[in-house]
Amino acid sequence: MNWFDAHAIIAGLGAFAVVGVAAIIFFETATILGSFLPGDSLLFLLGLTLATALSSFPFWLAIVLVFTAAFAGSEAGFWLGRRMGPHIFERRPTFFFNPRVLARARLFFENYGARAVILARFVPVLRALIPMFAGMTGFAPRRYVVLNLIGALAWVGGLMVAGFLLGQLAFVREHIELCVISFVVASSLPLPIELLRAHLKRTSEIGVSAPR
């Protein structure tokens, strides 16, 4: 199976597509090793598949299963970072794990906290990195649970519902690859746009407050 191709994965899973995608989503969000998996495309295509080939499978149940996997995966990544973070940074510093990186991560969460946790769901790699760094930097566990719930619901619900509704259109079924790519790109834009907006705002505030 080509693990980089969402079409091949869902086709290979067949009738077990919902359970299989849920397992993949958990692995992708819980570990850095799963970052290569096409989570966004899988969610969109699963929704589309549930509107066509797997129409007998209850859509609400699919949402619940995949949402639970997405939430549990990020929680696992958070607690992994919380437990292992101090030990990793206490060892000999490396290019990726060193005090400077940890300080930047803390500053990042101070500036973007809630937005980072929620919007990072829509960006590959970051949806695995952000939970771990949140745990490493001492992010409040209760606050993270709430943000994780919101992010998982927005990500899973948004992409699967979009795939389910659009999958009923003939144009989408005839141009699946184009529609999937377009939707995934569009769904990945909120975080970069938000970071740029916040950066421009801080730059503007610094410029105004600077002595003349």
pLDDT for residue 179 is more than 60: yes
pLDDT of the residue at 86: 61
Q: What is the pLDDT of residues 42-68, one digit of tens each?
A: 999 999 999 888 889 999 999 999 999
Q: What is the dihedral of CA 81, 190, 114, 90, to 10 degrees?
A: 30
CA distance 3 to 12: 10
Q: Give the pLDDT band of residue 203 (cuts 50, 70, 90).
A: low
More confident residue, 23 or 189: 23
Look at residues 164, 125, 133, 156 and name the one whose alpha carbon lies nearest to residue 37.
125
* Residues sharing a CB contact under 8 Å with residue 30, sequence separation 6 or more, in sequence order: 72, 73, 74, 76, 77, 80, 128, 131
Phi, then psi, of 72 in degrees rounded to 5: -65, -35
pLDDT of the residue at 207: 54
Cβ–Cβ < 8 Å for 187, 159: yes
Q: Is 20 exposed, middle or buried (0-12, 13-18, 19+ CB in 10 A)?
A: middle
| 14 φ/ψ sector (left φ>0, alpha ψ -120 to 50, else beta) | left
Q: What is the pLDDT of residues 128-142, one digit of tens each?
A: 888 888 888 888 899
Look at residues 131, 159, 127 and name the one whose alpha carbon lies nearest to residue 143.
131
Look at residues 143, 145, 17 and name the one whose alpha carbon lies nearest to residue 76.
145
